[in-house]
Structure 1
Amino acid sequence: MMSATMRRIQLPVLRALSTAAAEAAVESSTPEKIVASVLFERLPVVVPKIDPVVYAFQEFSFRWQQQYRRRYPDEFLNKSNTRGKGDYQIEYTPAPRITEADKTNDRKSLNRALDRRLYLLLYGNAYGAPSDKPVWHFPEKVYDSEETLRKCAESALHSVLGDLSNTYFVGNAPMGHMIFTRGEDAPDLPSFKRFFFKSQVIAKDEFNVGKCKDFVWVTKDELLEYFPDQAEFFNKMIIS
């Protein structure tokens, strides 16, 4: 059994060894930036249309159940039919599923593709872009001194929208990440890791998007057209 004196001697030694190992790891590690990106989405506003196959099955299921449903006496049915009748009449016309923004393909509007999820894309300077040319990208920020990586993602979205009161971040962990390494064809580009966080629109149909040259709200299929090289990755990461 280890004595108390030996414990007092070894504890400072262990602390010194762990500190030295951490400092050596920091010194030996290559400087690599970390970027927090935000997948800012608007959830569907209306219920998507039922697939024809699902609709046919529901029709078949209803007719099958009608064959074996419970039969009620005619007296009971007559009483239920006369209940709740009045002189009032409610006229209701549902709003159209196809909006004016759909007809004009206005991708700056949130009032389009009401049965799909929409995602915000920015056009401007992005970290790691070749020759600092403007490209399409998500709201992002290079991790600096924030407490957590999610705080960095919140700061990235705040710099674009100016207010996060109508946003909701889903979880504290990123939903995916990409690793960019310096290649022989582009030795000047830095190596970095990009982590994606999901945030959603809450009770708002218009945002004043800034800090970019242009922006669009696109569906998943449209989003893949903006990133042909990473289409396979985004197709697996984004579930819609």
Structure 2
Amino acid sequence: MQRRCTTPLMHSLRSFSTTTSSTTTNKIVASVLFERLPVVIPKIDPVIYAFQEFSFRWKQQYRRVYPDEFYKKYEARGKGDYQIHYKPASRITEADKANDKRSLQRALDRRLYLLLHGTSYDSSDGKPVWHLPEKVYDNEETLRKCAESALQSVLGDLTHTYFVGNAPMGHIAVQAADKADPLKKFFFKSQVISANLINVSGCDDYVWVTKDELLEYFPDQAEYLKQMIIS
């Protein structure tokens, strides 16, 4: 008779618990990369523009030649009493001219990211530093719920926000201010939805910066953030 295994299945699996303790709570931080998507289409790269110009001229030599009567009829189409005169708005806004980083009406062809100025979990001696919206994981149901709570604490509500996915987009270990074990930061992406003005509170100051500007605020983590943030 074949012998049956009497060892419970759970004994062979790695144990898992959803309860938190003081030894783990102060080591996990949910950080939110809150971004405003581009408002206008970015300018075409000069290399791409040169290729499109070359491609157009190359195709012109093989284009079909139509009789002159066809062009005269084509040019007469749409001509009437109603004419639409459209003048596109300038890409350079007043916020760009004044370098107002607290305004969302700047760098319209780039992604903007929210940075806060105040005390952070990795700041030394409690001095205010620039950081992303963040919160230590406590007793939330999931780590994303912790990230939502971090963003809600500075925005008041999440009406004009959208979290991209349930999983973090990346994580990094940083040295804590008290020189204890490194903090494990998990980054979540959230985006501004249907809003030109976001009220930010609960901090000394805040700015909306591009990716290049953001890297200047975090020189120690610049290499990692450069690879994590796609813009």
TM-score higher than 0.5 = yes
Which 10-residue stretch deviates more, 112-121 or 66-75? 66-75
Structure 2 residue runs without a partner (length 5+): none
Asked if 2 retains the 8 angstrom alpha-carbon contact of 1:37 and 1:153, the reply is yes
Cα deviation for residue 188 of structure 1 reads 4.0
Whole-Å separation in 1 of the counterparts to 2:120 and 2:76: 68
Cα deviation for residue 2 of structure 1 reads 5.6
Counterpart for residue 227 of structure 1: 218
Counterpart for residue 69 of structure 2: 75
Counterpart for residue 194 of structure 1: 185
Give the letter for the 1:66 counterpart. Q
SS at match of 2:8: helix
Cα deviation for residue 152 of structure 1 reads 1.0
1:137 to 106, 131, 134: 131
Cα deviation for residue 142 of structure 1 reads 0.9
Which 10-residue stretch deviates more, 80-89 or 158-167? 80-89
Whole-Å separation in 2 of the counterparts to 1:214 and 1:106: 13
Correspondence 1:62 to 2:53:
no
Compare CA radii of gyration and give the structure with the larger one.
1
Counterpart for residue 123 of structure 1: 117
2:45 to 48, 51, 60: 51
Asked if 2 retains the 8 angstrom alpha-carbon contact of 1:128 and 1:190, the reply is no
Whole-Å separation in 2 of the counterparts to 1:128 and 1:159: 19
- Select the structure that is richer in helix: 1
Give the letter for the 1:229 counterpart. D
Q: How many percent identity over aligned positions?
A: 68
Whole-Å separation in 2 of the counterparts to 1:56 and 1:239: 25
Whole-Å separation in 2 of the counterparts to 1:22 and 1:82: 78
Whole-Å separation in 2 of the counterparts to 1:181 and 1:128: 7
Whole-Å separation in 2 of the counterparts to 1:236 and 1:124: 26
Correspondence 1:86 to 2:80:
yes
Cα deviation for residue 165 of structure 1 reads 1.5
Asked if 1 retains the 8 angstrom alpha-carbon contact of 2:124 and 2:178, the reply is no
Cα deviation for residue 173 of structure 1 reads 1.2
Whole-Å separation in 1 of the counterparts to 2:2 and 2:175: 49
Give the letter for the 1:148 counterpart. T
Size of the aligned set, in residue pairs, is 227
**TM-score of the two chains, using structure 2 as the length reference:** 0.88
